Structure 1
Amino acid sequence: MREEKDSPSGSLGNSLTIERGGEPENVEGETCSGVRSTGAQTTWNVNVAGRGTFPVWSRSWHTGERDIVLGRGEVVPSVPAALSALFGKRRAGLERHMVHKKTYMTVCLVLPDDQNWPRRRKCTLEELERVCGADVVGSVYDHGVLDIATKGELLGETGRNRTELCGILDPASESAPVALYVATRVVPTLRKVGWL
């Protein structure tokens, strides 16, 4: 059975679930574009079967920007260095295409390097499924990700970013950006350290 697109919880593959936490809280910080702002932060709990639960923060800034990032909870269980280095790093911004009026997120892989630092890397759809798992990538559609393809295909871009992947998000789905963020930016590290 497929999850409803606006579902506040659901699975991501076989070993992960995401669930919306409480009500949004006020937050102050720096947006993806480097501007200081205030906004609202909603916490989503990502449960890794047998390993623990970690917060993912979905932030809506008063500048109009939105982003998603893996947070560091008040109580942090013992985690591998590569996962610890990912806390608070490699945010994903949500963007709205001005011509096509679509909400989208750039899709890339985030993997630890030799010093366990999270590095962002462009990828193809085939590589995305190989690194993250076809079950995980397939499950993002249950959360309201409408399509994943290149920016050239989905947004008509013709510049240097035309071959980058992006995910078109159902604007009515709260979980779509969180699911896509976790699948592409957290799952590769979890698989690398043997937690998935």
Structure 2
Amino acid sequence: MHVLSELELTRGSGRVTKSGTTLSGEPSVASAVEWELRLPGRPTLRIHDNHWRNGERDLVVHKPPVMPEMPSALSNLHGRLRSGVAPTPGRRELRVMVYPTYVDQHGRPRINKSLTTEALADRMGLFVLRELTDREDVTLEPAHDRPDLPLVDLDDPQDEKPLQHALFFPADDDETPVLGFVHFRVLPVLRHIDWLAPDGG
């Protein structure tokens, strides 16, 4: 599928088995679904959707044994800043946190956890958030069910209270979390290193 005009995301045909540590710090073995992110003239990036034997799941830019040449900000994203995919208490949907990446003054990718909805739309692009939530049964909501949190309304994004946002999606939807991960975790770094234009591909 095309993420942007020149950026293509494709799912691999098989799974990769690997050992490692889950987000909770438990040593385990994962069966990873591998996705390839291709930009013409650039090294292919591989996204691993890790399904761990202990039931945990996360997304990460896979770090190969031999790294191709690339700017340090992108190199530093490989194997770091994983995004967890988790069940939602009291709901059928799964959830992935929408923490957009930025690159600090030392060239290291970092994440913003709490943003107003307007700030999130400014960072990711309102059209991107609409595209994600136009997918079947996908919603963007406050990550936590608390009465003091404002609603997430993309028609009128609020700019008063920072909060943690999350994408909620059906458990059998394997594409949405990966597509969201590419948009909020990978694309900001590609734009920072000028592999993508600030407003697209």
Q: Under TM normalisation by the shorter chain, which class is it? A: 0.7 to 0.9
User: Deviation at 1:74?
Assistant: 5.2
User: Helix, strand or coil for the counterpart of 1:22?
Assistant: strand
**Alignment-derived partner of residue 191 in structure 2:** 191
**Alignment-derived partner of residue 167 in structure 1:** 167
Superposition RMSD in Å: 2.3
Q: Which has the higher helix share?
A: 1
Q: Please list every run of 5 or more consecutive structure 2 residues that lacks an aligned counterpart in the other structure.
A: 150-161, 197-201
Distance in 2 separating the partners of 1:168 and 1:95: 10
User: Helix, strand or coil for the counterpart of 2:14?
Assistant: coil
User: Helix, strand or coil for the counterpart of 2:13?
Assistant: coil
| Segment drifting more, 127-136 vs 13-22 | 127-136
Larger RCO (alpha carbons 8 Å, 6+ apart): 1
Are residues 1:120 and 2:123 paired? no
Shift in alpha-carbon separation, 1:105–1:98, aligned structure 2, 3 A: same
Q: Please list every run of 5 or more consecutive structure 1 residues that lacks an aligned counterpart in the other structure.
A: 1-9
Written as runs of structure 1 = structure 2, the 5 A alignment for 1:47-196 is 47-73=38-64, 76-122=67-113, 123-141=115-133, 146-152=138-144, 156-157=145-146, 163-196=163-196
User: Deviation at 1:48?
Assistant: 2.2
Written as runs of structure 1 = structure 2, the 5 A alignment for 1:31-42 is 31-42=22-33
Q: Which amino acid aligns with 1:157?
A: R
Matched length: 183
Identity in percent = 27
Shift in alpha-carbon separation, 1:185–1:102, aligned structure 2, 3 A: same
Q: Is the contact between residue 87 and residue 93 of structure 2 (CA under 8 Å) also seen in structure 1?
A: yes
Normalising by the residue count of structure 2, what TM-score does the alignment of the two structures yield?
0.81
> Based on CA coordinates, which of the two structures has the bigger radius of gyration?
2
Distance in 2 separating the partners of 1:171 and 1:62: 17
**Alignment-derived partner of residue 7 in structure 1:** none
Distance in 2 separating the partners of 1:82 and 1:127: 23
User: Deviation at 1:75?
Assistant: 5.5
User: Deviation at 1:70?
Assistant: 0.4
Q: Which amino acid aligns with 2:193?
A: V
Q: Is the contact between residue 20 and residue 43 of structure 1 (CA under 8 Å) also seen in structure 2?
A: yes
